[in-house]
């Protein structure tokens, strides 16, 4: 069997059904062999970076290892997506073809040292030197990608390797590594018993769940532990949905991206923090201020990666898979809810109710205007409870993270707040929909991100995917405008637009050119009607929503509202928005 067929046969044995990629001359021999493997769908994209974002969305939506590929000339285009997957611990196989290695020093067109580029942003990178290595390296790649701290693995295959022979006796798989975690580990009984004792002694406990909880499928273990011990539960933005956000114990998203003032205050006032599957990064902790490591309460940290345990806070370290370790801790916690947490839970209820009253005031002030907050609340009402969402950075992510509540826990969303590159929302929705053909997928993006990945709308149409895209159109890289407005402590000069502003774009005509039905609602009521219609109709749709740039309508971000208050600039966004920011903007 030649190496091209051996590669595809190995993917089939690992139950790979979809590969995302873009064709190139160095990969032609692989495509010739593909005709014998119709069960593996090749999903062609329009840009190699987006093939990685598609594999990322697919992995997050399905819990299976994502697979993408690109030719030698496009390998550099894949770097942003691979860097995101590496930082976000997303298991992925990234294949790149290459020119024959003996031609690289002769200045062969498209040849370069791929390994040097990928080795800093992958768990491992391999260069195949002979066809017989293919089965061994594929087994190793799946095992490495899906186990321990998951992440992408890069496999570089020179074009002449595809036609070499591979021994059929070497072609077998370790199927448990086709999904993640491939093998689960757990902290020791001694460590779990110590964690249970700390929980039993706490009066104000908070659990913060990161993406590691989502990767391990820990939502039932999180809920059981929280309910047994009376623990408030928050999540990072990347783990949104891991715990039902309508639950009495829920704090929703906490931290600098999606956190609310009252819920972040509960984090800082806790006497015990349980970090479960989170790296305690800057986005979660608002630059390590929520809480400050110097004044942080007692903490427990559960993680499969030894380098994360106690990396930013002094903790009781428990090394192991989040689901298995939480399940083990639960065995050592008494069955009844400790009465010592009752006052703490009552306080959370009071804070939540006060927050709800202020939001009701804000909603009344909004009326029928189509504010990003209103979009989030409408999506909560009309989207199915198992809908999967993808988000680009900016207002596309921050408002839904804070105000779109997921009542049903599980894998509900894909954010890219490990690196935060623009252009993620459109292609990741394609990957998610390919992996979840029977669920509704909603991709939320901004006009800045749209410019990076607009071509993938054609991909969505060509693949016949039912995706509803929502685009916030504020004619700018608005997040930059908001950051500069607050950092500079003064309104932006008229000529600042040369750094940030776009010419007006008719996104509905662009959508129409791709064969997509487009809508531009002019009110909240109109958006709700259109959204219901889109969820009932097949195919790709695009809803473009006019929005103010962030320097004119400050979104809920740490420090932004505090600056507006101190500078007396509340009139920039009106009394209604003051109510919103008072609850969320100060400490997101």
**Does any domain span residue 230?**
yes
Q: What DSSP line would sit under 373-407, residue for residue?
A: HHHHHHHHHHS-TT-EEEE-SSHHHHHHHHH---S
User: Which pLDDT belongs to residue 550?
Assistant: 87
Say if residue 167 is in the same domain as residue 233: no
When divided into structural domains, the chain yields a total of: 3
Residues 391 and 524 in one domain: yes
What percentage of the chain reaches a pLDDT higher than 70?
A: 95
Provide the pLDDT for residue 338. 66
Pair (332, 374) in one structural domain? no
338 and 251 in a common domain: yes
pLDDT computed for residue 108 by the predictor: 85
User: Distance (Å, rounded) from C-alpha 427 to C-alpha 284?
Assistant: 25
| Judgement on whether residues 244 and 102 belong to the same structural domain of the protein | no
CATH number of the domain where residue 532 is located: 3.40.50.970
Rg for the chain, CA atoms, rounded = 24
Nearest C-alpha neighbor of 244 from the set 269, 270, 209: 209
Q: Tell me the mean pLDDT in the region 18-46.
A: 97
Is residue 304 located within the same domain as residue 419?
no
Last residue of a domain, one of 152, 177, 202: 177
Q: How far apart are the first and last CA of the chain?
A: 56
Q: What's the chain's average pLDDT? A: 92
pLDDT of residue 257: 84
Compute the average pLDDT of residues 471-486.
Answer: 93
171 three-state secondary structure = coil
User: Which strand (E) or helix (H) includes residue 152?
Assistant: strand 152-158
| Nearest-angstrom CA–CA distance, 263 and 358 | 15
405 and 472 fall within a common domain? yes
Q: Same structural domain for residues 387 and 524?
A: yes
Domain that holds residue 317: 189-346
Q: How many C-beta atoms lie closer than 10 Å to residue 424's C-beta?
A: 34
Q: Which residues contact 419 (CB under 8 A, 6 or more apart)?
A: 80, 83, 84, 87, 88
**pLDDT digits over 286-338, tens only?**
888 888 888 888 999 999 999 999 999 999 999 999 999 999 999 999 887 66
Same domain, 224 and 172: no
Tokens encoding 511? 């959508």
**pLDDT category of residue 28 using cuts at 50, 70 and 90:** very high
Contacts of 477 (CB under 8 A, 6+ apart): 448, 499, 500
The answer to whether residue 471 sits within a structural domain is yes
Provide the 8-state DSSP code for 165.
Answer: B
Which residue intervals of 514-558 are DSSP H helices?
524-536
Q: Stretch 492-521: mean pLDDT, rounded?
A: 96
Q: Is it the case that residue 359 has pLDDT exceeding 50?
A: yes
Give the side-chain half-sphere CA count within 13 A for 243.
Answer: 29
- The stretch 368-375 carries a mean pLDDT of 94
Q: Please tell me the predicted confidence (pLDDT) of residue 553.
A: 82
- What pLDDT is attached to residue 578? 43
The enclosing domain of 269 has a CATH number of 3.40.50.1220
pLDDT at 100: 87
Contact between 499 and 479 under an 8 Å Cβ cutoff? The reply is no
71: left (phi over 0), alpha (psi -120 to 50) or beta: beta
Tokens of 408: 């049903």
Is the separation of the CB atoms in 433 and 467 below 8 Å?
Answer: yes
Percent of the chain with pLDDT over 90: 82
Is 581's pLDDT higher than 70? no
Phi, psi of 240 (to 5 degrees): -55, 130
Query: Is residue 318 domain-shared with residue 371, that is, in the same domain?
Result: no
Query: Between the CA atoms of 303, 392, 396 and 60, what dihedral angle is there, to the nearest 10 degrees?
Result: -50
Q: Which of 312, 346, 380 is where one domain is finished? A: 346
The per-residue pLDDT for range 247-281, each reduced to its tens digit, is 999 999 999 888 888 999 999 999 999 999 999 98
Domain boundary among 317, 346, 375: 346
Q: For residue 584, what pLDDT band results from cuts at 50, 70 and 90?
A: very low
> CA dist 487 to 483, 563, 582, Å?
6, 9, 20
In degrees, rounded to 5, the angle at the alpha carbon of residue 238 between the alpha carbons of residues 219 and 16 is 75
Mean pLDDT of 487-513: 94
Average pLDDT (577-583) is 42
Same domain for 98 and 195, yes or no, is no
Cα–Cα distance measured from residue 177 to residue 171, given in angstroms and rounded to the nearest whole number: 15
**pLDDT, position 573:** 38
pLDDT digits (tens, 9 = 90+) for 114-152: 999 999 999 999 999 999 999 999 999 999 999 999 999
Predicted pLDDT at 558: 67
140-195 pLDDT, tens per residue?
A: 999 999 999 999 999 999 999 999 999 999 999 999 999 999 999 999 999 999 99
């Amino acid at each position: 069997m030649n190496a091209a067929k051996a590669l595809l046969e190995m993917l089939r044995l690992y139950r790979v059904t979809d590969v995302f990629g873009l064709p190139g001359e160095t990969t032609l021999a692989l495509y010739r062999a593909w005709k014998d493997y119709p069960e593996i769908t090749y999903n062609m994209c329009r840009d190699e970076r987006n093939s990685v974002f598609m594999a990322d969305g697919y992995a997050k939506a399905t819990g299976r290892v994502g697979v993408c590929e690109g030719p030698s000339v496009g390998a550099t285009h894949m770097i942003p997506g691979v860097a995101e997957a590496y930082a976000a611990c997303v298991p992925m196989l990234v294949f790149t073809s290459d020119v024959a290695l003996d031609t690289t020093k002769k200045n062969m067109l498209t040849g370069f040292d791929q390994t040097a580029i990928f080795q800093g942003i992958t768990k491992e990178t391999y260069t195949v030197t002979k066809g017989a290595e293919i089965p061994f390296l594929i087994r190793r790649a799946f095992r490495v990608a899906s186990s321990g701290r998951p992440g992408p693995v890069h496999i570089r295959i020179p074009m002449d390797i595809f036609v070499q022979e591979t021994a059929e006796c070497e072609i077998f798989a370790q199927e448990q590594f086709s999904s993640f975690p491939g093998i689960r580990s757990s902290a020791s009984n001694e460590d779990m018993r110590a964690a249970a004792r700390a929980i039993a002694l706490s009066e104000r406990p908070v659990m913060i769940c990161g993406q590691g909880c989502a990767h391990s499928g820990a939502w039932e273990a999180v809920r059981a532990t929280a309910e047994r011990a009376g623990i408030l539960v928050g999540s990072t933005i990347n783990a949104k949905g891991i715990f039902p956000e309508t639950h009495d114990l829920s704090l929703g998203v906490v931290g600098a991206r999606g956190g609310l003032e009252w819920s972040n205050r509960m984090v800082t006032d806790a006497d015990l923090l349980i970090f479960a599957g989170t790296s305690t990064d800057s986005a979660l902790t608002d630059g390590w201020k929520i809480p400050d490591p110097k004044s942080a309460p007692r903490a427990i940290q559960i993680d499969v990666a030894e380098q994360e345990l106690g990396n930013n806070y002094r903790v009781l370290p428990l090394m192991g898979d989040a689901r298995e370790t939480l399940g083990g801790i639960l065995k050592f916690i008494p069955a009844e809810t400790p009465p010592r947490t009752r006052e703490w839970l009552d306080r959370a209820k009071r804070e939540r109710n006060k927050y709800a009253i202020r939001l009701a005031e804000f909603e009344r002030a909004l009326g029928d205007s189509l504010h990003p907050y209103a979009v989030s609340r409408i999506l909560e009402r009309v989207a199915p409870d198992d809908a999967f969402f993808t988000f680009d950075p900016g207002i596309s992510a921050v408002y839904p993270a804070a105000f779109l509540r997921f009542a049903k826990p599980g894998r509900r969303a894909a954010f890219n707040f490990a690196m935060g590159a623009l252009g993620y929302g459109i292609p990741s929705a394609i990957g998610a929909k390919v992996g979840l053909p029977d669920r509704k997928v909603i991709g939320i993006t901004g006009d800045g991100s749209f410019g990076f990945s607009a071509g993938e709308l054609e991909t969505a149409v060509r693949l016949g995917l039912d995706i509803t895209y929502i685009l916030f159109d504020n004619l700018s890289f608005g997040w930059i405008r908001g950051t500069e407005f607050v950092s500079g402590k003064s309104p932006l000069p008229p000529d600042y637009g040369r750094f940030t502003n776009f010419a007006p774009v008719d996104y509905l005509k662009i959508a129409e050119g791709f064969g997509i039905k487009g809508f531009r609602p002019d009110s909240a009521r109109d958006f709700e009607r259109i959204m219901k219609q889109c969820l009932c109709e097949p195919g790709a749709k695009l809803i473009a929503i006019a929005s103010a740039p962030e320097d004119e309508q400050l979104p809920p971000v740490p420090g932004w509202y505090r600056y507006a208050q101190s500078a007396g600039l509340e009139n920039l966004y009106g009394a209604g928005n003051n109510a919103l920011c008072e609850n969320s903007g100060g400490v997101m």
